[in-house]
Structure 1
Amino acid sequence: ILFVCGGAFVGLEAIVEQRLNQRMIGFGAEVKGKHERRMSHLLAQVQPEDLLKYGLIPEFVGRLPVAATLTELDEKSLIRILTEPKNALLKQYEKLLAFEKVKLKFTESAIVAVANKAFKQKTGARGLRSILEEVMLDVMYEIPSQREIRECVVTEDVIEGKTSPLLIKDHEKGVKSA
């Protein structure tokens, strides 16, 4: 039987840090400031006693022989999640609009803005979809009723809520460069 327990476990790092600091008291102890200890470093040192102090019951902790931690996703990782996998979020939206014969284009700065926003919100990869849904909801509703639209361009300003996506129609395609 394999138990997989995922979550943020908010506050667990403080319990681990408290335990580690208690063991560093005395002569010859290495003094480190809080800024030197990153959360991922602390969580990598979690022990069953920390989980008990966090509030998990002993019967449950006893069934978790191995604790593996994941590091926080940085902006580069979030960009890769948006663009690289076979089923990447941006590719999913491109396919959805392709059913309506509309080409979807995200500028590089827009992709960076999505990743930046998710990183700042501390929502990780889950936050990418909600950010894109917010941006694309109206477009996905409008496009099927406007058959002359051939391209949709999403810029950084769209992600920041300053403007709407640029919808390029058939007769504008040859004139307008996106």
Structure 2
Amino acid sequence: MSKKVVLEEEEYVETLGHIIERDFFPDLPKLKRQTELLREDEEGFPLTGTTIRVANTRGNMSVRSSASGAGWDEPTPTVEQLASGQLGNTQDIDDATEDDVKKSMTLNRFVATHTSEDNKSFKELQEKAVKDHQRRYHWAFDDDAEKGDPKLHLLTNGTWISKEQRRIADEACAPKGLMLVSFRAV
């Protein structure tokens, strides 16, 4: 697996938010503009029909709007597709910066190729904890053929019991035959 690109926490969250907003809530920017206009109206700025029409038509159009013909089952368009106008979108994208490329990825691809500093630190702590656990309980994770039968018991010092020691212990514990116990009535 290739290494993930580590981004600062703020940049990671901002890009992730942009991708989620674009793919799952395409009308959110339009609703935000309408909310701003309504708040301005409450504060005393008059609204005109022209202002409302401009607010509804201006700004970034969703790349998944019905006008573009793209549906939810189609992959997210790349920056190159948007720049060449393959989607019928009239946005002018001059230079596809690294930020634009990140924001044009699908959610799955972005999460698979990028991570945040916090996520990287957490993963390192998890790996360290797993290694410490394996070191502490090495006997459960060791698969050396020279140690013999994995059914052999461990001694109190953490070493394996040899086959000869196991045979002696089994002989000592094995029943010697029928055991008769005499009872006296009192």
- What is the TM-score with the length of structure 1 in the denominator? 0.23
Report 1 or 2 for greater relative contact order, CA contacts < 8 Å, sequence distance ≥ 6: 2
Tell which structure's C-alpha radius of gyration is larger: 2
- What is the TM-score with the length of structure 2 in the denominator? 0.23
The structure with the largest strand share of the pair is 1
